[in-house]
Structure 1
Amino acid sequence: MNIKLIAVDMDGTFLDDKKNYHQKWFKQLYAVMKAKGVHFVVASGNQYYKLKTIFEDIQDELAYVAENGAYVIDGTEVLFTGEIAPDQVKLIVEKLGQYEEISAVMCGVNGAYVLESASNEFYELMCRYYPRLEKVSTFGQVKDQIFKFSLITPDLAAGGVDKYLPLLMEELKGVVDPVTSGHQCIDLIIPGCHKASGLERLLKRYGVRPDECAAFGDSSNDIEMLKLCKYSYAMENASPEVKAIVNYHTVSNNQHGVLHEISLLLGEPSLLENIEEGKLTAEKQN
């Protein structure tokens, strides 16, 4: 097994349910990755500026496939920025206006935007995911290159994702691709612009083949990436559609499934023994 790149989703995959990870274990694995020339790629639907805060000490050494592939960065170099055409942005905003019960974030290069009419609860929740978040009176006033919308649907009792996903897929067909991203959320992404397309840009840059890559995920927005990589892993907590298309399965995000498998992929079983014997104690992420 000759692994040259490892791509990981964040929420529900690399991070546990409290948004933490085993930092000491990861630091040891990252040192091995650097020594062996293995690239570590953060692949997430989250904002790039949020993802950087997760890996503060090494944030400028990593590669990022952020915003579900719409924003690709290698170290500090921006490789790709997607764009939803302004007329299509206007159409999306009009369609979303039909659903007052859906809360939306509009995502662009310079930051993310929520309406001033949104609830304080929604705004405070989004601040956790978008360090650069601005309130605006209308989405139409925003002057930015837009590449994604993130939506929170009502809870399951009100239909949730199962109700709104097919509606949005029909109404926005050919404009954006609605995909689930976990926790009753839907992302509206540029057609053909997903985690796999972002990862392919990095593979070309590095001269790495898909059969030399491992990827980890849990939600439908990970599927293209998981299909691309030979060593594809679904978390125990992954959705059924993700579990159905991967080549391997691992334990849940709360059991450090990603770090467990990376230890094996890198040929470092001694790190697993240290965990089992309590020689590595988990640190809480700041």
Structure 2
Amino acid sequence: MIENARSIDRTATVLLLLGSVFVLLPLAFVAITATQSYGDFLRNNFSLLPGTHFWDNVAAVWSLTDLPRQIMNSVIVAALVSGGKCFLAFTTAYAVVFFRTRYVPLVYAAVVASIMLPIELRVITVYQVASNLALPVNAAANTGGLWAVLFGAPLDLQLNALDSYAGIALPLMAQGAGTLILVQFFKTLPRDLARAATMDGAGPLRFMADVLLPLSKGPLLSLFIYFFIGGWVDYMWPLVAASSPEMQTAVVGLARLGPGMEEDIPNYPLEMTGAIMVTVIPLVLIALTQRRIVRGLALSEK
């Protein structure tokens, strides 16, 4: 039994080392390239030894590109997305678990179905709505032509949300994964908890704010960090929703650090430096909160 245990440990250690090399080797290439100068990169193509130009590349990215502003945009958008998703997930899960009506299963099914419809499948429709948030109002007012009869012309309100934080963040909030997790967590709570709060004179809103919210801090924090990273790395919708460099997110801006002409040789050291700058905030966030993430998600699965 001891020999078998040792062989299992050795096999696990080898597999762990192989997996670490597989994951860390591309990151090592990125880090080494980021320390090279553009001239050194053109001469050597790639070097296994780090250079001495990392901080020069950081200064160049910081002063010559829009990436610093785009990193701030990513912080704002990711915070809005994660905060909005957590709020919607908490309130929807609260209604699904603690309110008993005939429409609750239908609402819950619709929310969960949104997981199967990512924004990449809805991008054209979402773009049409974001380009004019007043489309539903216009359609309702112009149904049957009554508005045109009364006022002489169809209603044509214009409210463009593109190239704004709201236009980027709001469509990314419409996703029900957080609701699914919080529903499972709320079902682990004692069923008599809401009844006891009602007997103590607490209404639905007070029960949600004073009882349910403190109990949900762990899962909510885990979901916030998870959704923050998801909003940070989202590429397609921010690319479509923001056309100006001042409003683009860091991932989109990083993809556009390449050459302006097709025949130009990419400045890979500058691009790899930008990649490191873009990934610093998510990596630090994960490193500081990984235990709470695991603990919060474990609580939601009990």
- Structure 1 and Structure 2 fold alike (TM over 0.5): no
Structure with bigger strand share is: 1
Structure with bigger helix share is: 2
TM range (shorter): under 0.3
Q: Determine which structure has more spread, i.e. the larger CA radius of gyration.
A: 2
TM-score (norm 2): 0.21
